Amino acid sequence: MLELKNISKIYRSGSVDVKAVDGVSLKIFSGEFVAIMGASGSGKSTLMHILGLLDRPDTGTYSIAGQDVTRLSDDQLAALRNRIIGFVFQQFHLLARMTALENGELPLIYAGRRGMQEKVRHELTAVGLADRVEHRPNELSGGQQQRVAIARALVNDPFILMADEPTGNLDSKSKDEIMGILRDLNAQGKTIIMVTHESEMASYATRVIHMRDGKIISDENRKVPENFQPTENAQSVIKEILAVAHQTYDPAKFLDSFRQAVYAMVSHKLRSFLSILGILIGVAAVIAMLALGHGAQASIETQLSSLGSNLLTIRPGRERVQGVALESGAGTRLNFQDMEEISELPSVRRVSPSVTGRVQVVYANNNANTQIEGVNVDYAPMRASEPVVGRFFTDEEVRSRAKVAVLGVTVAQALFGENDPIGETIKINLINFTVIGILPPKGASSWRDQDDIILVPVTTAMYRLLGKDYIDSMYVEGDSPEILESLQETITQTLLKRHRLNNQPNPEDAFQIRNMADIKAALETTTKTMSMLLGSIAAISLLVGGIGIMNIMLVSVTERTKEIGLRKAIGATRRDIMMQFLVESVLMSCIG
């Protein structure tokens, strides 16, 4: 059945070579019950691992039923382990979270044989566990666990049963039970190879091989086996198994991987929960970052639109007299004639004057110190300042220097709190004004609160409140963003001509014209930079989160090497294991 020729296995530990198995040649016949004995460290387990296709020898040839197995692929070895060899280990190696029935079913799953629970029940009954099929390993005694392991080894009807110290962890009563089972199996024709260091256990065997330092030192055959299984049968089965072992992944196996993955997740609730939490936080961070980016952009866009579009602001320049900077407008001042002339230039859509100053406002017991701005009717559409409550003032009110005021939100709140200010009378610098509207909130820009303002007709501001006969600045709206630059030039020329400044040393310093479109463009670049920044932070946090998840999965793989080892021993291929872990990770990611 098995034939070893000159098999060696050398472990290199540091500079010393340990010859765990040293030139062993051995034939084991079908139907034999072989006990391998020897002191600890004599190479019994190593030999057993080679016999069981769990390990490859360094030298020598090994054939099963005439088939050389030393050069088979990993998948083919896995298939052979699954179908023609059954393993029983000293530590039982049952999967803790599964019932006896589910443990017994594993080799069937890896063999791709589904719906064969009856077979598992049958084997469990044969080892005397008919009433324990739904129990988990921790609800079973050592002897019972080992019997489950034997049933598991037998579900695929292997030709050979291998047991490494199967009774090493058991009490004497259980030992006898287990050995009885093995003896019965041998009587039914199974080839059994057992490693043991107890001679009582060896007495159940028909052949005893003694090992020392990796070599066979004696081989006594007590009884010629009667129950030979025909080797031809094994030969044809092996050929069949090897032929299909290379086939592509069976999609039906995916369901099994899926089930195993769900089992693993459910049975390690805390670990699964933590992984899912990691994914959740990672994804939430990315979404939050992106949302913040979009929010910031939207907010900046709102502020930008509140500035008005295609807007130029014109104010007198700061002149210097003998190197000393003067107050803005000290030299040149803008007036209504300038405004008139500018409004008649081509491509100018609207013009509004602006006169500003600080005033004290009083209503009942409340008072505030705020900025006042005198403007005309065109200001509202230009600066996106149509009142949300009430109305803006009219041309007639501008002409008649009417005492009406439109309040910014901050001022309205300071004076009126929650009350309705429309129609109320407030005192601005001790003069009574009627509140006719509330401006839309514009928010604070970096330098000041844009809502801390009162708008009044420009004439009222000039002649009734501030005592000015000139205007501080002008807003000019062009037809389109493209013409702003040339418009800027035309306006400068017009003003210089009007004020006869052309022959001054630095005529262009006489007026400052600011282009809002430029400011807007600058702000938009800033926003883009910010979104990119947030985006990259999000990307980094995703990467970090991903690495975290990767680590958890890696640790979980390391922690489960034992489980993986067992699954491989009973016939799982590399792909089966990978599939199980992959499905598990993907499933957790999806849940997260």
Residue 17 CA to residue 23 CA, distance in Å, equals 15
Among 18, 241, 283, 519, binds ligand ADP (CB under 6 A): 18
Phi-psi region of 274 (alpha: psi -120 to 50; beta: other; left: phi over 0): alpha
Phi-psi region of 184 (alpha: psi -120 to 50; beta: other; left: phi over 0): alpha
Contact between 45 and Mg ion per CB under 5 A: yes
Among 30, 45, 144, 275, binds ligand ADP (CB under 6 A): 45
DSSP state of 107: H
Burial readout 325-355 (b: 16 or more C-beta within 10 A, e: otherwise):
eeebbebbebeeebbeebeeeebbebbbbbb
Place of tokens 């807003």: 475
Among 32, 33, 44, 82, binds ligand ADP (CB under 6 A): 44
Q: Which one of ligand ADP, Mg ion, none is in contact with 13 (Cβ closer than 5 to 8 A by kind)? A: ligand ADP
Residue 509 token pair: 């310093």
3-state per-residue secondary structure call for 30-72 = CCCEEEEEECCCCCHHHHHHHHCCCCCCCEEEEEECCEECCCC
Contact between 217 and ligand ADP per CB under 6 A: no
Q: Which one of Mg ion, ligand ADP, none is in contact with 354 (Cβ closer than 5 to 8 A by kind)? A: none
Stretch (H or E) spanning 370: strand 366-375
Binding to ligand ADP (CB under 6 A) within 440-459 occurs at none
Contact between 51 and ligand ADP per CB under 6 A: no
Place of tokens 């866009």: 301
Q: Quote the least distance from Cβ 44 to Mg ion, whole Å.
A: 5
Among 31, 43, 387, 437, binds ligand ADP (CB under 6 A): 43
Piece in contact with ligand ADP (CB under 6 A), picked from 10-18, 343-351, 414-422, 473-481 = 10-18
Residue 513 CA to residue 519 CA, distance in Å, equals 12
Residue 269 CA to residue 281 CA, distance in Å, equals 18
Piece in contact with ligand ADP (CB under 6 A), picked from 41-49, 372-380, 424-432, 582-590 = 41-49
Q: Quote the least distance from Cβ 48 to ligand ADP, whole Å.
A: 8
Which lies closer to ligand ADP via its Cβ, residue 18 or residue 116? 18
Q: 3-class DSSP state for residue 473?
A: strand
Q: Which one of Mg ion, ligand ADP, none is in contact with 11 (Cβ closer than 5 to 8 A by kind)? A: ligand ADP
Q: For residue 574, give every residue at least 6 positions away whose Cβ sits within 8 Å of its Cβ, in sequence order, or none.
A: 74, 75, 78
Which lies closer to Mg ion via its Cβ, residue 85 or residue 194? 194
* Residues that contact ligand ADP, how many (by CB under 6 A): 12
Please say whether the beta carbons of 437 and 392 come within 8 A: yes
Among 30, 42, 144, 275, binds ligand ADP (CB under 6 A): 42
Piece in contact with ligand ADP (CB under 6 A), picked from 38-46, 112-120, 459-467, 525-533 = 38-46
Residue 175 CA to residue 179 CA, distance in Å, equals 6
Place of tokens 């230039």: 345
Residue 347 CA to residue 487 CA, distance in Å, equals 8
DSSP state of 334: B
Which lies closer to ligand ADP via its Cβ, residue 165 or residue 373? 165
Contact between 78 and ligand ADP per CB under 6 A: no
Which lies closer to ligand ADP via its Cβ, residue 7 or residue 380? 7
Piece in contact with ligand ADP (CB under 6 A), picked from 42-50, 69-77, 439-447, 478-486 = 42-50
Q: 3-class DSSP state for residue 160?
A: strand
* Residues that contact Mg ion, how many (by CB under 5 A): 1
Please say whether the beta carbons of 129 and 148 come within 8 A: yes
Residue 365 CA to residue 370 CA, distance in Å, equals 16
Q: Quote the least distance from Cβ 45 to ligand ADP, whole Å.
A: 3
The closest of 257, 254, 385 to 311, measured between CA atoms, is 385
Which lies closer to ligand ADP via its Cβ, residue 147 or residue 210? 210
Stretch (H or E) spanning 26: strand 16-28
In this structure, which amino acid lies at residue 238? I
Q: Quote the least distance from Cβ 214 to ligand ADP, whole Å.
A: 7
Contact between 11 and ligand ADP per CB under 6 A: yes
**Which residue number is nearest to Mg ion in terms of Cβ?**
45
Q: Which one of Mg ion, ligand ADP, none is in contact with 322 (Cβ closer than 5 to 8 A by kind)? A: none
Piece in contact with ligand ADP (CB under 6 A), picked from 12-20, 81-89, 427-435, 479-487 = 12-20
Contact between 167 and ligand ADP per CB under 6 A: no
In this structure, which amino acid lies at residue 176? D
Q: Which one of Mg ion, ligand ADP, none is in contact with 143 (Cβ closer than 5 to 8 A by kind)? A: none
Among 4, 35, 37, 38, binds ligand ADP (CB under 6 A): 38
Piece in contact with Mg ion (CB under 5 A), picked from 41-49, 252-260, 341-349, 396-404 = 41-49
Piece in contact with Mg ion (CB under 5 A), picked from 40-48, 387-395, 405-413, 514-522 = 40-48
- Residue 246: phi, psi to the nearest 5? -90, -5
Binding site for Mg ion (CB under 5 A): 45
Binding site for ligand ADP (CB under 6 A): 11, 13, 18, 20, 38, 40-46
